Chain A
């Protein structure tokens, strides 16, 4: 049984159906990439998976680690091990980055019936992970994403992911807006976090990230469905030839 099983998923945003029968299996420890033209439903898939208000699954199913994901609240999905790295991370003035991540981690652990992490242990990990993604402790103490550059916001998502240790990370265009050094830093972080019990779904426009993070599978999303799947070579083919023939 795959860690993530999406079957014939239909989803609407407002009155509009965006996902039209999407099916996808991702096994434990695998890295899958989803590519596709603008408006094909890539971000919607991430939001439906994480339970964002306004993104409604109308039929089909998502099973995650044996559980019915669509039946859970967003925070329960996080506690079950799902992480969504946002394309546009949100600024929250007045809520310190460190306090937020620590509260989120401990809330997840409580939901799972685990002990909270001690302040000292958390600080040690926070320091290590901030450094690993070229962030300072000043970034960690500031309001969440407040005054961060575009690249810093994306790297902050990675720091949060590393601290929360999810089983499954959906990274929505984490590579867009990154310069080449930041891209390598992010890719190195993802590669370091790859593990037999952790999977990734990389939503991306470009094959560039996939040069550094080698996916097991590449899928093309078009018109709300997966229209083609293949190995890493598919990303190169798309880069060369565009979506034109595939997406129709």
Chain B
């Protein structure tokens, strides 16, 4: 690979930590092509690699009636990026569940482009981010519905929780719809821990850190609900709980 380093003028790299990226570009960038054959299901779970800079890039094609499920926990110490470019054929489904947890100065991002190229495709994207101190979590999620892709049903739910006022969350759901008989729902929120819930939990005896952890666990749980394999879900949840320790 002899590609030039991306720049912030490109929308999909707008919030990225390009200095960190330069240290691994391009040889440390994991690019993967996934072809899900018609009628088949492929499930991938991506856990943190432990590297301070971790960049993953997937190009996915899902054949007619196929299904691609992707679940991830994004927690690199410096820079973690997970990018997915997914093309869905007739009646195909894409399921994304991602949690990003930044405790210090991490830059974390999930960037997706989901192309509904043919009719009857469905997609469901759930991303939950929790950031403290100077951490930055971004989610850019673009859904494109092409001209003939009628009966597309695309959903995006992107939520972020700021534990400190110095942390940053960027949520940018984007829709580009060229068909006229489609359902596309998107929601994006950025919030803080609910003080009333927190009081309720602590007033019953939970120490502050335990109360926060319980609330954050509940917040990110949405991202892992769709994991069909119990063992995979437990692994993700256990990794998330460990990562939450650093946040509470």
Give the interface of A toward B (CB within 8 A): 50-53, 73-75, 77-79, 83-84, 86, 89-90, 92-95, 99-101, 103-105, 107-108, 111, 143-144, 160, 164
Give the interface of B toward A (CB within 8 A): 195-197, 199-208, 210-211, 214-215, 217-219, 221-222
Pairwise interchain contact B197-A92, C-beta atoms closer than 8 A: yes
B219–chain A nearest beta-carbon distance, Å: 7
A156–chain B nearest beta-carbon distance, Å: 12
Complex CA gap A51/B205 in Å reads 12
A210–chain B nearest beta-carbon distance, Å: 25
A41–chain B nearest beta-carbon distance, Å: 18
Pairwise interchain contact B219-A94, C-beta atoms closer than 8 A: yes
Q: Which of A53, A75, A84, A160 contacts B206 (CB 8 A)?
A: A75
Residues of B within 8 A of A77 (CB): 203
Residues of B within 8 A of A144 (CB): 200
Query: Which residue of chain A has the shortest Cβ distance to B202 in the bound complex?
Result: A74
Query: Which residue of chain A has the shortest Cβ distance to B210 in the bound complex?
Result: A107
Q: Which of A75, A90, A105 contacts B208 (CB 8 A)?
A: A75
Pairwise interchain contact A107-B206, C-beta atoms closer than 8 A: yes
The answer to whether A53 and B205 touch (CB under 8 A), given A92-B215, A100-B214, is no
Complex CA gap A103/B205 in Å reads 8
Q: Which of B203, B207, B211, B215 contacts A52 (CB 8 A)?
A: B203
Complex CA gap A143/B202 in Å reads 17
Q: Which of B195, B205, B217, B219 contacts A107 (CB 8 A)?
A: B205
Complex CA gap A243/B205 in Å reads 36
**Most B-side CB within 10 Å, residue of A79, A89, A101, A103:** A103
A104–chain B nearest beta-carbon distance, Å: 4
Complex CA gap A50/B196 in Å reads 13
Complex CA gap A52/B210 in Å reads 17
Residues of A within 8 A of B201 (CB): 92, 95, 100, 104
Query: Which residue of chain B has the shortest Cβ distance to A93 in the bound complex?
Result: B218
Across the A-B interface, give the 10 residue pairs with the lowest CB-CB distance, nearest first.
A94-B218, A78-B205, A108-B205, A104-B204, A90-B200, A104-B205, A74-B202, A50-B203, A95-B218, A75-B202
A57–chain B nearest beta-carbon distance, Å: 16
Complex CA gap A83/B219 in Å reads 26
Query: Which residue of chain A has the shortest Cβ distance to B220 in the bound complex?
Result: A94
Residues of A within 8 A of B222 (CB): 94
Residues of B within 8 A of A160 (CB): 204
Pairwise interchain contact A78-B217, C-beta atoms closer than 8 A: no
Q: Which of A52, A93, A101 contacts B204 (CB 8 A)?
A: A101
Residues of A within 8 A of B210 (CB): 103, 107
Pairwise interchain contact A103-B199, C-beta atoms closer than 8 A: no
B173–chain A nearest beta-carbon distance, Å: 22
Taking A77-B203, A95-B215 as known contacts, 10 extra A-B pairs with beta carbons closer than 8 A to each other, sorted by chain A number, are A51-B203, A53-B199, A73-B202, A75-B208, A78-B203, A94-B217, A94-B221, A94-B222, A105-B205, A160-B204
Residues of A within 8 A of B199 (CB): 52-53, 74, 90
A-B contacts, 21 listed (Cβ < 8 Å) = A50-B203, A73-B202, A73-B208, A74-B203, A75-B202, A75-B205, A75-B208, A75-B211, A78-B202, A78-B204, A86-B200, A90-B199, A90-B200, A94-B217, A95-B201, A100-B214, A103-B206, A103-B210, A104-B201, A107-B210, A144-B200
Residues of A within 8 A of B221 (CB): 94
Complex CA gap A51/B222 in Å reads 31
A85–chain B nearest beta-carbon distance, Å: 10
Complex CA gap A50/B203 in Å reads 6
Pairwise interchain contact B195-A53, C-beta atoms closer than 8 A: yes
B44–chain A nearest beta-carbon distance, Å: 25
A110–chain B nearest beta-carbon distance, Å: 9
Complex CA gap A103/B204 in Å reads 10
Pairwise interchain contact A164-B202, C-beta atoms closer than 8 A: no
Complex CA gap A50/B206 in Å reads 13
Residues of A within 8 A of B206 (CB): 75, 100, 103-104, 107
B99–chain A nearest beta-carbon distance, Å: 13
Complex CA gap A83/B211 in Å reads 17
Complex CA gap A198/B223 in Å reads 44
Pairwise interchain contact A84-B217, C-beta atoms closer than 8 A: no
Query: Which residue of chain A has the shortest Cβ distance to B207 in the bound complex?
Result: A75
**Most A-side CB within 10 Å, residue of B199, B203, B219:** B203
A73–chain B nearest beta-carbon distance, Å: 7
